[in-house]
Amino acid sequence: MKLSDCYKIVRKRTESICSPLQTEDYVVQPVADVSPPKWHLGHTTWFFETFILRPYFMGYKEYDPQYNYVFNSYYETVGNRVIRTDRGNLSRPTVIDIYRYREYMDEAMDKFLCQEPSAEVRELLILGFNHEEQHQELLYTDIKYILGHNPLFPAYSKDYVSQKVAEHADGKFIKLKEGIYEIGFAGDGFCFDNELGRHKVYLNAFEISSDLVTNQEYLAFINDGGYQDFRHWHAEGWDWVNKNHIVSPLYWHAIDANWHNYTYNGLQPLNLKDPLCHISYFEASAYAAWRGLRLPTEFEWEAAANLLKWGRRWEWTESAYLPYPGFVKAAGAIGEYNGKFMVNQQVLRGASEVTSPGHSRITYRNFFQTHLQWQFTGIRLAK
């Protein structure tokens, strides 16, 4: 496909995710980790302006110099910015202003892409597409948070159907042998810098579940007093449970003694067969301990991935987010993409039902802080 067509498809998809929203839904930021949808719309646009048009498109006229301050996310290289927790305090630029900004950029990009870009620009463009696709997933999760924390529990869309993945029903553990496995990206397609550096890893023999843990299985943990028994938890996790009065996954509500959860269709009775969702690493690890099992490492996961059905939940692993051998940060702002987060975070593998197409590959490394529940996270057990 032509790059200009790829560009249009990616950009269109972002806007289509937002189409069911009311203007007000674009504005709010209920917690620091969630960004207002209008910020995502502006930030992904700013990315193309800042890293492609301004440096590479001769004669390009910056849309508004103040937008750099408003839409820069975390790139210290590119200058000052609105602090993250203040994104929800900005009523301007308005949603319409930002859609105009997108339109302006899309027209400029269209002109720019008339000519075949250099290899260097091509690489940045593909990074830009992947960047916007990552924000598409964040849009889904942030919209869910915004609507799911409103006391009126409005549906995102009555027609939303969660993307099903054919699932094992046999609950088997798959065995892999001891030995050397190759880990990391190989091939010609796009990958992030944190997947590079394909290298050998020595794994002991292990077993990994073909299925994800279901709501029903996790309910057994809750009903057994799992959230009240320190023995299953990391010390830091136990503090987190008690300080935040955590008693269930995010979006779960006990109404008249029946568990419900908030979904894109509104508040619904809990579907027991569904794979568990919206749990922190602390909860994933505590559940595994309660079962007498453990989470897989990211290496075990990657080694076994072709034998597993996956794709509905990002799966917490036992691995901390660290550089692969030979990892080098790129120079300049692009180098701030991944490397500077490689501390005190845990790796997730797989993909979720709201992951953008093309972000599902077995070498993909997602990562979050250990207390976060707002992603579509789940549990796969190992032993």
Interaction of residue 224 with a copy of itself, rule CB under 8 A = no
Site string for a copy of itself, 97-126 (x = CB under 8 A): ------------------------------
Half-sphere exposure of 335 (CA within 13 A, CB side): 8
Of these, 176, 219, 222, 320, which contacts a copy of itself (CB under 8 A)? 320
Interaction of residue 19 with a copy of itself, rule CB under 8 A = no
Which of 115/344 has CB closer to a copy of itself? Answer: 344
Half-sphere exposure of 39 (CA within 13 A, CB side): 27
Q: How far is the CB of 43 from a copy of itself (least distance, A)?
A: 15
Interaction of residue 28 with a copy of itself, rule CB under 8 A = yes
Distance CA 110, CA 317 (A): 41
Interaction of residue 174 with a copy of itself, rule CB under 8 A = no
Which residues, in sequence order, are CB contacts of 25 under 8 Å at separation 6+? 37, 143, 146, 147
Interaction of residue 150 with a copy of itself, rule CB under 8 A = yes
In whole angstroms, what separates CA 99 from the centre of its chain?
Answer: 24
Which of 76/120 has CB closer to a copy of itself? Answer: 76
Q: How far is the CB of 278 from a copy of itself (least distance, A)?
A: 18
Q: Judge contact between 349 and 300, C-beta under 8 A.
A: no
In angstroms, the Cα distances linking 231 to 196, 238, 323 are: 38, 9, 31
Q: Judge contact between 272 and 216, C-beta under 8 A.
A: yes
For the beta carbon of residue 15, count every other beta carbon within 10 angstroms. Answer: 11
Q: Judge contact between 281 and 316, C-beta under 8 A.
A: yes
**To the nearest 10°, the Cα dihedral for 41, 112, 122, 353?**
30
Interaction of residue 169 with a copy of itself, rule CB under 8 A = no
Please give the backbone phi and psi of residue 35, each rounded to the nearest 5 degrees, phi first.
Answer: -105, 150
Run of H or E residues at 10: helix 3-18
Site string for a copy of itself, 287-316 (x = CB under 8 A): --x----x----------------------
Please give the backbone phi and psi of residue 276, each rounded to the nearest 5 degrees, phi first.
Answer: -50, 145
Q: How far is the CB of 84 from a copy of itself (least distance, A)?
A: 11
Sheet holding 252-255, edge to edge: 252-255, 258-263, 266-269
Q: Which of positions 346-365 make contact with a copy of itself (CB under 8 A)?
A: 346
Choices 54-62, 84-92, 212-220, 246-254; region in contact with a copy of itself by CB under 8 A: 84-92
Please give the backbone phi and psi of residue 319, each rounded to the nearest 5 degrees, phi first.
Answer: -100, 135
Of these, 236, 247, 357, 360, which contacts a copy of itself (CB under 8 A)? 236
Of these, 20, 323, 334, 372, which contacts a copy of itself (CB under 8 A)? 323
Q: How far is the CB of 114 from a copy of itself (least distance, A)?
A: 33
By residue count, the chain amounts to 383
Distance CA 44, CA 54 (A): 15
Q: How far is the CB of 58 from a copy of itself (least distance, A)?
A: 28
Of these, 10, 27, 52, 351, which contacts a copy of itself (CB under 8 A)? 27
Interaction of residue 32 with a copy of itself, rule CB under 8 A = no
Query: Would you state the structure tokens that stand for residue 256, as one six-digit string?
Result: 């008249």
Q: How far is the CB of 236 from a copy of itself (least distance, A)?
A: 6
Which of 211/318 has CB closer to a copy of itself? Answer: 318
Q: Contact positions toward a copy of itself, by CB under 8 A?
A: 22-30, 38, 66, 69-70, 74, 76-77, 82, 86, 88-95, 146-147, 149-152, 154, 180, 199-202, 204, 206, 230-231, 233-238, 281-282, 285, 289, 294, 318-320, 322-323, 325-326, 329, 335, 340-344, 346, 370
